[in-house]
Amino acid sequence: MKDVIKINRKGDDGYKVISVRIKDGTLDKIEELAKRSNRSRNELINILLESSVDNVEISD
């Protein structure tokens, strides 16, 4: 019996690529946090979004 190796194709990893506009000052802060935490900017943005999305409250 042969071993089957599954190769994840781009987009099969549960992540989606998006494009957003962000203020220069906010990006500067994110880049500084990424540098200090030794994480990629992408990893840090995902951490920030995951921790915020369930806690945000929007009022009319």
Q: Could you tell me the residue range of the domain that residue 47 belongs to?
A: 24-53
Residue 60 resides in a domain: no
Residue 35 resides in a domain: yes
Residue 49 resides in a domain: yes
- Contact between residue 19 and residue 30 where contact means Cβ atoms under 8 Å apart: no
* pLDDT for residue 13: 82
Residue 18 resides in a domain: no
**Helices vs. strands in the chain: H and E counts, helices first:** 2, 0
- Higher-confidence position of 1 and 39: 39
Q: Could you give the count of Cα atoms lying within 13 Å of 37 in the half-sphere of its Cβ?
A: 15
- What pLDDT, in 10s, does the model give residues 21-56? 999 999 999 999 999 999 999 999 999 999 999 888
Report the number of distinct structural domains present in the chain: 1
